[in-house]
Chains A and B, each alone.
Chain A
Amino acid sequence: MTFRTVGTLFADFRALFAAALLGAFIATPRAAVLDAQPSLSPTQAMTGETIQLVVRVSADKKEDLPWPRVEGLGAFTVTKSTNVSSGSQTSVVNGTITHSEYFITEFVFNLVTQRPGDYVVGPIRYAHKDFQRDLGSATVSVTKGDAGIIARPTLGKSRVYVGEQTLYTLRIIPKEGVQSVNWPQDMQKYIGQKFFFQPIDSTMAPKVVTLDGRETQVLDFRIALFPLLAGSSTLEGMPVEYRQVRRAARGGSAADMFEEFFGGGGRVVTQTVQSPSLRLEAVPLPAKAPEDFNGSVGKYAITAKLDRDEAATGDAVSLTVTIRGNGQPKSVLQPKLPDLSRFEVYDPEKTSASTVEGGTLWTTHTFKYILLPNREGDYDLSGISYAYFDPARGAYARATAPALKLRVVRGKGGAGGGYAAQREIQELGSDIRFLKTQGPALRNDSDLPYHHAGFVLLLALPPLALVGALFARRRRDRLRADSALLRRSQASKKLRARLKTARAALDAGNPREFYRALSEAMAAFASDRLNREFRGLTQAEARAALSERGASPATADAWDALLQRCDFMLFAGAAAAPEETRRDLEAGEKLLASLDKELA
């Protein structure tokens, strides 16, 4: 079966396809692929005309289906595409209503050939899971025909530096009957990865030019090309699709005659013309590029301006830098700025705009910086520049903006008035704090003072001291009120002092002074203890006074005898041996000790 037969039998393909689909649903309701049908149109074509082979595959569910296998396409340039659509079917069988959904995938092959001849397209086979079907083949007759357009590409410069702009112009010269011309959508595919490009013409406006002495209508399509790599490159020809009305030739088919009669004067065909390829040589840039060179090649100019000449510290000042050039637009980065250490500089806002002037693409890049001056002063903001490569001179160059002046005065707010407003410190990370390594040697801090009994004793000391103070105060008050008690309480202390004087005299070898001191000590002690003056008393009165206050008779006698001896040694001028004198001292001490106890 050939497609010509198919085309005759299935003139209304949709109806027949639906019938086939219904049959297939009933026959194999559970199959993934229900049916596959091919169609080919036209079967008679001219060179460059697009012939479309469509294989429609229906399935009971939506899924990615495999492409059909089609042989005999070697003579054609083939482009492929798919379309998916869906539909539903309701049927009544023996009173039972069933509703089902189906999906149709169209596999489209667009075939173009430039060589005339008869070509067999097929056999065509479709296989998926359990579905396998041979869909037959068809014969296509391609006759030679004149192309409806002439595509003529040119390059502005066929030898440029890497990054330098060159103009690619594809001129279309349409012939009679051409209704429309379409550019290829995927330009990158034909231009390749070796170039950066940007179309210059957004629409194709026909214009009239003089060609070979005749005014001719043409369509120009221009692209700005920038080679990215050094070396020789080929710009492949581009397929240009056009639609043209063709009148039927004598002896044409009945269908063509029918279309010419009812279709307005001829058959509309869609054809494709391949433009010739071109060669381009990209020259590498010389070495020793400036440090801030970013790869911009062409002509560049730079301007800069401030939004004011004077500002206060902390105020925002806008610096706008504009770089205009015809190099690759993406190569332009930020310009080189002068020393702005006295300013807080924010990242610039960048905008770009392209224009076409004289067949060249120019791009203007605008960088808007916000500067916050930190300190007052007069600033010279000269040195804003941009490095580029000038292909006309074959050397690196630098575009420099005119100098700018800015006066900064002291602002009203802020510490010191000369600095910008403070900001929060940005936290960049977090971690535990570091070791503690300073201080005295390690201790045992669990050993606290109150764990020890000694601390309790220490706690008791202050109250005890207070009690002692109270007792001492009381005693002091009693002594102050009773002079006899005071004299009596101090008698022993005074006696010790007097005996010490006596002993000193004895040690000094002065017996007279010794006996005088001893006599004084004995009389004074008795006076103090008894609160009665003993000087001037007779011996009998003194003895009686002592006995009366508790002294034993023996003690009183001894006291009397020692006192008499002292008087004797003092007034009789008798000389006593040292041993005798010392015995008298010891006897006196013993006697006074006894008397102290007895008079207490």
Chain B
Amino acid sequence: MKRATSILFGALLLASAAHLGAAGSAAPDLKHDLKAADAAWRAGNAAYEQGRYEEAARDYAGAVKAGAVDARLYYNQGNALFRLNRLGESILAYERARRLAPSDADIAFNLRFARSRAVDKVPETPDNALTRTLWSLHAGYTLRAGTWTAYALWVLGFAGLAVWVFLGAAGRIVAGLASGLAFAALLAFSPSLAYRVHQQETARRAVVLASVAEVYSGPGENQELLFRAHEGTVLDVVETRGEWLSVKLPDGRGGFIRKTGIEEV
């Protein structure tokens, strides 16, 4: 019995480690050539620092195409596009960077700066000290780090219980306390992580890249024209209907917009 249990655990560990290890390492196909992406990123940085923004934007696009999904890459790409007065594309890049690193102050600043240059001034949701604090806690970690933190708390909680099973009365208090704290922390952390995962996997945002995009009351140009969104305006995507997207603005206004002229984050 004991031997069988050990074998089972060993097999599970090996399988998990092998699977995650394979996922973490660079895949051999060209779509995920992270080494080439890194080289392109560094070349783009050099070009930017010398004021060759067109070349920098090309290099950053190449890095994205090579499979890199990194907040620093999107942030720098946003900077280069902003310098080229491609406002909509720069806001799109900043939004992508913010999605990966929501608590990064530089990304938030540049996104706000770029959006201040857009024609449409869409009022942001008002906040206060409490909401700002909660938001900074909620957005202050990357999803990768959050996932592993939750896993570590999960392991710690069960390890404490396992030790609790074996130890005497004195040791049980320590083990039980450690386990209880770990599970309590996990319980407190889980809603934030769950919401973040939900946002990551389901929430859709789009940025207007055309100079003007018209928003109708339904999916068709025969519908009532509700308003016009200009380059750089960020929209929440509710659903897709053929060539049309149902979108909403933070202030509650919404409608249908053609896919052409906008791009999802």
> Which residues of A are at the interface with B, using a C-beta cutoff of 8 A?
430-437, 439, 441-455, 457-466, 468-473, 475
Q: In the assembled complex, which residues on chain B have CB atoms less than 8 Å from the CB atom of A432?
A: 79, 82, 109-110, 113-114
Partner of B161, one of A459, A460, A466: A466
A465 & B147 in contact (Cβ 8 Å cutoff): no
Q: In the assembled complex, which residues on chain B have CB atoms less than 8 Å from the CB atom of A443?
A: 34, 68-70
Contact with A along B227-263 (1 / 0, CB 8 A): 0000000000000000000000000000000000000
Measured between alpha carbons, how far is A375 from B42 in the docked complex, in Å?
A: 49
Q: In the assembled complex, which residues on chain B have CB atoms less than 8 Å from the CB atom of A455?
A: 16, 19-20, 147, 151
Measured between alpha carbons, how far is A463 from B70 in the docked complex, in Å?
A: 34
A452 & B23 in contact (Cβ 8 Å cutoff): yes
Min CB–CB distance A472 → chain B (angstroms):
7
Partner of A468, one of B5, B13, B15, B67: B5
Partner of B34, one of A442, A451, A465, A472: A442
Min CB–CB distance B192 → chain A (angstroms):
15
* Given known contacts A448-B144, A471-B1, A435 and B9 CB-to-CB distance under 8 angstroms: no
- Residue of A with least CB distance to B164: A469
A/B interface sample: 22 pairs, CB < 8 A: A432-B79, A432-B82, A437-B72, A442-B37, A442-B68, A444-B67, A447-B69, A448-B144, A448-B147, A449-B23, A452-B23, A454-B15, A454-B18, A457-B15, A458-B13, A458-B151, A459-B154, A461-B9, A463-B158, A465-B162, A470-B165, A471-B1
Name B43-85 residues within 8 Å CB distance of A.
Answer: 45, 48-49, 63, 67-73, 75-76, 79, 82
Measured between alpha carbons, how far is A138 from B38 in the docked complex, in Å?
A: 100
Closest 3 CB pairs of A and B: A454-B19, A462-B158, A442-B68
Measured between alpha carbons, how far is A444 from B73 in the docked complex, in Å?
A: 11
B197 located at the interface, meaning its Cβ lies under 8 Å from any Cβ of chain A in the complex: yes
5 extra A-B contacts, CB within 8 A, seeds A432-B79, A439-B72 = A432-B82, A442-B34, A448-B144, A460-B12, A461-B155
Measured between alpha carbons, how far is A442 from B68 in the docked complex, in Å?
A: 6
B19 & A449 in contact (Cβ 8 Å cutoff): no
Q: In the assembled complex, which residues on chain A have CB atoms less than 8 Å from the CB atom of B155?
A: 461-462
B63 & A472 in contact (Cβ 8 Å cutoff): no
Of A432, A447, A454, the most chain B CB neighbours within 10 A belong to: A432
A442 & B73 in contact (Cβ 8 Å cutoff): yes
A465 & B9 in contact (Cβ 8 Å cutoff): yes
Min CB–CB distance A530 → chain B (angstroms):
23
A461 & B162 in contact (Cβ 8 Å cutoff): no
B92 located at the interface, meaning its Cβ lies under 8 Å from any Cβ of chain A in the complex: no
B177 located at the interface, meaning its Cβ lies under 8 Å from any Cβ of chain A in the complex: no
Measured between alpha carbons, how far is A433 from B48 in the docked complex, in Å?
A: 13
Partner of A459, one of B13, B41, B48, B151: B151
Measured between alpha carbons, how far is A268 from B8 in the docked complex, in Å?
A: 134
A466 & B19 in contact (Cβ 8 Å cutoff): no
Q: In the assembled complex, which residues on chain B have CB atoms less than 8 Å from the CB atom of A447?
A: 23-24, 69
B159 located at the interface, meaning its Cβ lies under 8 Å from any Cβ of chain A in the complex: yes
Q: In the assembled complex, which residues on chain A have CB atoms less than 8 Å from the CB atom of B110?
A: 432-433
Q: In the assembled complex, which residues on chain A have CB atoms less than 8 Å from the CB atom of B148?
A: 449
A448 & B143 in contact (Cβ 8 Å cutoff): yes
Q: In the assembled complex, which residues on chain B have CB atoms less than 8 Å from the CB atom of A434?
A: 79
Measured between alpha carbons, how far is A434 from B35 in the docked complex, in Å?
A: 24
Of A436, A464, A475, the most chain B CB neighbours within 10 A belong to: A436
* Given known contacts A443-B68, A468-B5, A472-B2, A436 and B16 CB-to-CB distance under 8 angstroms: no
Q: In the assembled complex, which residues on chain B have CB atoms less than 8 Å from the CB atom of A445?
A: 69-71, 100, 142-144
B113 & A473 in contact (Cβ 8 Å cutoff): no
A446 & B69 in contact (Cβ 8 Å cutoff): yes
Contact with A along B199-225 (1 / 0, CB 8 A): 010000000000000000000000000
Measured between alpha carbons, how far is A447 from B82 in the docked complex, in Å?
A: 28
- Residue of B with least CB distance to A431: B113
Of A447, A450, A454, the most chain B CB neighbours within 10 A belong to: A454
- Residue of A with least CB distance to B36: A442
B226 located at the interface, meaning its Cβ lies under 8 Å from any Cβ of chain A in the complex: no
Q: In the assembled complex, which residues on chain A have CB atoms less than 8 Å from the CB atom of B159?
A: 462, 465
A471 & B13 in contact (Cβ 8 Å cutoff): no
Min CB–CB distance B80 → chain A (angstroms):
9
B34 & A441 in contact (Cβ 8 Å cutoff): yes
Measured between alpha carbons, how far is A443 from B100 in the docked complex, in Å?
A: 11
Measured between alpha carbons, how far is A437 from B197 in the docked complex, in Å?
A: 28
Measured between alpha carbons, how far is A591 from B114 in the docked complex, in Å?
A: 87
Measured between alpha carbons, how far is A439 from B8 in the docked complex, in Å?
A: 39
Min CB–CB distance A427 → chain B (angstroms):
13
Contact with A along B1-40 (1 / 0, CB 8 A): 1100100110011011111100110000000101101100
A450 & B147 in contact (Cβ 8 Å cutoff): yes
B120 located at the interface, meaning its Cβ lies under 8 Å from any Cβ of chain A in the complex: no
Q: In the assembled complex, which residues on chain A have CB atoms less than 8 Å from the CB atom of B200?
A: 448
A464 & B8 in contact (Cβ 8 Å cutoff): yes
Measured between alpha carbons, how far is A472 from B76 in the docked complex, in Å?
A: 56
A442 & B70 in contact (Cβ 8 Å cutoff): yes
- Residue of B with least CB distance to A463: B158
B102 located at the interface, meaning its Cβ lies under 8 Å from any Cβ of chain A in the complex: no
- Residue of B with least CB distance to A461: B12
B144 & A449 in contact (Cβ 8 Å cutoff): yes
- Residue of A with least CB distance to B4: A468
Measured between alpha carbons, how far is A450 from B68 in the docked complex, in Å?
A: 19
Q: In the assembled complex, which residues on chain A have CB atoms less than 8 Å from the CB atom of B113?
A: 430-432
A435 & B166 in contact (Cβ 8 Å cutoff): no
B16 & A457 in contact (Cβ 8 Å cutoff): yes
Q: In the assembled complex, which residues on chain A have CB atoms less than 8 Å from the CB atom of B151?
A: 449, 455, 458-459
B176 located at the interface, meaning its Cβ lies under 8 Å from any Cβ of chain A in the complex: no
B157 located at the interface, meaning its Cβ lies under 8 Å from any Cβ of chain A in the complex: yes
Min CB–CB distance A260 → chain B (angstroms):
84
Measured between alpha carbons, how far is A444 from B70 in the docked complex, in Å?
A: 6
Of B20, B148, B200, the most chain A CB neighbours within 10 A belong to: B20
Partner of A454, one of B1, B23, B38, B73: B23
Min CB–CB distance A429 → chain B (angstroms):
12
A458 & B143 in contact (Cβ 8 Å cutoff): no
Measured between alpha carbons, how far is A434 from B151 in the docked complex, in Å?
A: 35
* Given known contacts A466-B161, A469-B165, A441 and B35 CB-to-CB distance under 8 angstroms: yes
B106 & A433 in contact (Cβ 8 Å cutoff): yes
Q: In the assembled complex, which residues on chain A have CB atoms less than 8 Å from the CB atom of B24?
A: 447
- Residue of B with least CB distance to A473: B165
Measured between alpha carbons, how far is A462 from B155 in the docked complex, in Å?
A: 6
Q: In the assembled complex, which residues on chain A have CB atoms less than 8 Å from the CB atom of B197?
A: 450
Q: In the assembled complex, which residues on chain A have CB atoms less than 8 Å from the CB atom of B32?
A: 444
* Given known contacts A433-B106, A454-B20, A442 and B154 CB-to-CB distance under 8 angstroms: no
- Residue of A with least CB distance to B19: A454
Q: In the assembled complex, which residues on chain B have CB atoms less than 8 Å from the CB atom of A468?
A: 5, 9
* Given known contacts A442-B34, A454-B15, A458-B20, A464 and B45 CB-to-CB distance under 8 angstroms: no
Q: In the assembled complex, which residues on chain A have CB atoms less than 8 Å from the CB atom of B2?
A: 472, 475
Min CB–CB distance B152 → chain A (angstroms):
11
Q: In the assembled complex, which residues on chain A have CB atoms less than 8 Å from the CB atom of B158?
A: 462-463, 465-466
Min CB–CB distance A548 → chain B (angstroms):
29
Q: In the assembled complex, which residues on chain B have CB atoms less than 8 Å from the CB atom of A473?
A: 165-166
* Given known contacts A433-B109, A435-B45, A436-B75, A464 and B12 CB-to-CB distance under 8 angstroms: yes
A442 & B106 in contact (Cβ 8 Å cutoff): no
Measured between alpha carbons, how far is A449 from B154 in the docked complex, in Å?
A: 15
A458 & B16 in contact (Cβ 8 Å cutoff): yes
Min CB–CB distance A32 → chain B (angstroms):
50
Min CB–CB distance B205 → chain A (angstroms):
15
Q: In the assembled complex, which residues on chain B have CB atoms less than 8 Å from the CB atom of A433?
A: 106, 109-110
- Residue of B with least CB distance to A468: B5
B41 & A442 in contact (Cβ 8 Å cutoff): yes
Measured between alpha carbons, how far is A447 from B142 in the docked complex, in Å?
A: 12
Of A450, A459, A473, the most chain B CB neighbours within 10 A belong to: A450
Min CB–CB distance A3 → chain B (angstroms):
72
Q: In the assembled complex, which residues on chain B have CB atoms less than 8 Å from the CB atom of A448?
A: 143-144, 147, 200
